[in-house]
Structure 1
Amino acid sequence: MPLHSAPVSLPSQPGPPGEPLGSRARSAGRSLLGRLRSEDRDVLWLYLASRVSVWIVAYCARWVFPRDPETKKASAVLQPFQQWDWHHYLRIAQEGYFPGAEVDDNRVAFFPGFPLVLRAVYVVIPNWTVAGLAISFVSGAIAVVALARIARRYLEDAGAGRRTVVLLLASPCAVFLAVGYTEALFLALALPAWLAAQRHAWVTASLLIALASAVRISGLFLAAALVVHYLCFGRARDNWWVLLWMTLPAFPAALYFWHLYANTGDLMAWQHAQERGWHRSFHLPWDAWFHTWGAAFDGIYPTTYAFMFLAELVGMVMGLVLLAVLVRRRSWPEATYIALGLWALGTSYWYMSVPRASLAWWPLWIGLAALTLRRPRLLALYGCLICPLSVVFALAFFTGRWAG
């Protein structure tokens, strides 16, 4: 089944002539809520159930896997969620990128979108960790509904949306959708943007991708895919001026890089922070593969890190297979998005965060859904193989043992 469906024209529902403005607003609100179909509500129930599962793992991790094996008291309830990159986002939200004193914690490697939203939500929820969790919780709900709708359009199957969401939520790195990280917020912008692109709502798609580009650099890869999508599938009546709108996603990144330059005098401040903190300097793809292979199998690092580097290798292979399938099916927009992401991740000193990046590879989850719809037994096999890994990854993150 090709990864493209015929565009759907959605009828507008304006209010009756002469209807009062307040009445129109209430009608619009009811219409917006009414757009949640039964399949969408099923997806949201699945999403809520999966969040409960993740929270159970986090709660138990405090008791069963404490940092100090001899402790007689479990850590704070929210402590499992306060790991790794969260501290960077927190410091940016609290202090900004340049708090005054000399700081060399590579915080400029993180885009400002999530910290800005975190700071805004903190005004309403005056607990930083809870505010971050709330952002991811709401964003994840939006993302899974959008993913389900995209899957139904691609596969033209009533159960495709639910199945695609199940495959995503059961994936090993799905824990990052439940913590104060950027993945859920990015997907909450990127997936509705792609849904808008499928409907040829080019301006809406460009605006959403611009917001996504303020959250993660991969928003720029999605912007490139949008241009390819327009060139391949834009209708004859679509105006070419919309290509100007499609330049909008470049502005958040450009403004951020300008801000860094104004404060550091370094045009490459973002890239240099990536290099200092995560060895993300340019290397040829085969060098990156062999460096990652060595980190996984040469006994250089503790077994916890070696296991995660092994997961990076598997993630890269999975991404390359996905790219090959997309090219074979001539799904050029999706192939563009995946190829740019793989190039960025696969040309560093070693692979890092490839499995996490797979959360945003919606063609992967839709393709797996199509495969399991044709061969239902594969769904049970997927569950048996992946669910244990998902628990392992969640425990690794919640106990500070890294998760990629």
Structure 2
Amino acid sequence: MTNSFNENITKLTADINHKKPQLKNVLFVIAMWLSSRLLIVVTMLFISPLFPAPNGIAATFSWDVFTAWDSVWYQQIATNGYQPSDNGALYSTAFFPLFPLIIRIFMNLGLPFAVAGTLINNFAFLAALIILYFWVNESYGKSAARWATAVLAWCPYSLYGTVVYTEGLFLLCSISALRAFDKRQYISTVFWGGLATATRVTGITLIPAFLFVSWKERRGLKAYFASLAVGSGFVFYNLYCQIKFGDALAFIHAQKGWRSSVGFDWQGWWKMLRQIVIGSTNQNGSLQDPLHPFLFTIVIVSSYFLWRFRGKFGAAKVRYGFYLLWILLWLLTRNSLPNDPFTSEPLIKILLIFGGVYLLWFSRNKIPLVAVIYGFLSYALILNTGLVASVERYAYGIVSLSFAFGLLLARYPRWGYAIMGFFAIVLATFGIRFSQELWLA
């Protein structure tokens, strides 16, 4: 009896010791989530009202500060369902049904739309961070998991994990589906993948990603079946559109309200690159700020000489020098077109898109294969929408980037701290802009 009692005590002690690090891991994720969300909330509710509103829309101390732009469409769907616009177009069908459906459930419990949408997105985002942490931690250790979580939580576009948008819910569903498939948990893969394809159109890239990995790793029929079943959310929405509107592809046809063509927008990206290098131009093609290209050249030349003679300055001075030059370049380029809402951050947009593609290629042998393929397929989709607007927000929703960047920063933590500081600055400015209903992405 004594031996049995001692065995039970030993087992209980082992269970407690096993759970302690798990609890610390969860507390770290909560700390990342809570601190970044507090920065957003304080900025939007308390700091933003102190600034003049460029378009006459001042921030207010209310839940409504978290609703703007696409939030209006989700409110319409959650309140009245999918309805034609005044001109008969089915623009609302461009927004997939899972998020407004969940909002509607909470509204039926008595919560206003803004409260329901904000709470759902924020807690879904927290759950997504927790799942990402444990996914990375399982194979790459605590340091990489912490950096990957910090990147996803503090990236400036994580603002959309707090306001009434689908980022939090989509990240939760897509990360859960990717992790489940990576762990060969096919029932969970189907469940979460189906929810992902019912949340956002980019969720369909999970299907070819899973099929390719199933073939590459010779996983068997269960993997192929799960890969196809992930499209259940997408298929059900097709059926709904066919039954209600007689057009199974209504959500694709609705895109004409935002774009006139598809494919890679060469002109848009070239225009943005010119804005970074020479600044904005007038209608006649002349420079609005002739000093811009001169200052840009100084930053680039200074960067070259700093790298060329890095051995003479020492690692710390070189690091601080590059960080200062980056801040100067960001300040210079972000004001290149102050009156153009679609290019408010051209430097960050180009870096996130094309730098993200390079990061995926650089990390292709380091992160799980399914994350690599999903990342490239998602980029292929968003780069061929015929637009440059909003593509960086969709790129942020590709969790493969946070995964890869987390592994990179785990090797260079000093750069990581500097990058997190920059992220915090930009995140605060994004909060101000969104609360004043200025376009971000």
Q: If the TM-score is normalised by the length of the shorter chain, which range does it land in?
A: 0.7 to 0.9
The residue number in structure 1 matching 2:410 is: 373
Q: TM-score, normalised by structure 2?
A: 0.74
Query: Within 2, Cα distance between the matches of 1:397 and 1:100?
Result: 25
Match of 2:156 among 169, 172, 177: 172
Name whichever structure is richer in helix by fraction.
Answer: 2
Take 2:243 and 2:272, find their aligned partners in 1: how far apart are those partners?
35
**Aligned-residue offset at 1:256:** 1.7
The residue type paired with residue 412 of structure 2 is R
How many residues are matched? 367
Cα deviation, residue 173, structure 1: 0.4
Q: Match for residue 56 of structure 1? A: 42
Indicate whether 1:333 and 2:370 are aligned: yes
**C-alpha displacement of 1:128:** 0.7
CA contact (8 A) 1:292 1:350 kept: no
**CA distance in 1: counterparts of 2:261 and 2:54, whole angstroms:** 36
Q: 2:233 aligns with which of 232, 252, 257?
A: 252
Q: Say if 1:160 and 1:370, in contact at 8 Å, map to a contact too.
A: yes
Structure 2 equivalent of residue 19 of structure 1: none
Amino acid at match of 1:275: K
Shift of 1:51: 1.6
User: 2 CA distance for matches of 1:294 and 1:273?
Assistant: 31
1:289 — aligned with what?
269
2:167 matched residue in structure 1 = 183
Gaps of 5+ in 2: 1-18, 284-337
Higher deviation after alignment, 264-273 or 49-58: 264-273
1:232 & 1:37 partners in 2: Cα distance? 36
The yes-or-no answer on 1:91 pairing with 2:76 is yes
SS of the aligned residue for 1:348 comes to coil
Residue number in structure 1 paired with 2:178: 194
Structure-to-structure mapping, 1:81-230, within 5 angstroms: 81-98=66-83, 103-104=88-89, 106-155=91-140, 157-230=141-214
Q: Is the 8 A contact 1:287 1:349 kept in 2?
A: no
Shift of 1:182: 0.5
Q: Is the 8 A contact 2:154 2:427 kept in 1?
A: yes
Q: TM-score by structure 1 length? A: 0.81
User: What's the CA shift string for 1:36-57, capped at 9, x where partnerless?
Assistant: 5321222113212222221101
Q: Which has the larger radius of gyration?
A: 2
The amino acid across from 1:260 in the alignment is: C
After superposition, give the CA deviation of every residue in 1:13-52 in whole Å (9 maximum; x if it has no partner): xxxxxxxxxxxxxxxxxxxx99953212221132122222
Moved more, 158-167 or 127-136: 158-167
Note closer, same or farther for the CA distance 1:330–1:402 as it changes in structure 2 (3 Å cut). closer
- In the alignment, what sits opposite 1:279? 259
SS state of the match for residue 159, structure 1? helix
**How large is the Cα RMSD of the aligned pairs?**
3.1
Structure 1 gap segments, 5+ residues each: 1-32
Q: Taking structure 1 as reference, are residues 46 and 234 closer, same or farther at Cα in structure 2, changes over 3 Å only?
A: farther
The residue type paired with residue 96 of structure 1 is G
The answer to which of 283-292 and 252-261 deviates more is: 283-292
1:305-326 CA-partner distances (Å, limit 9, x unpaired):
3324554333221232123224
User: For residues 305 and 330 of structure 1, what CA distance do their matches in structure 2 show?
Assistant: 33
2:228 corresponds to 1:243: no
Asked whether the 8 Å contact 2:59–2:436 carries over to 1, the reply is no
User: In 2, distance between residues paired with 1:207 and 1:39?
Assistant: 26
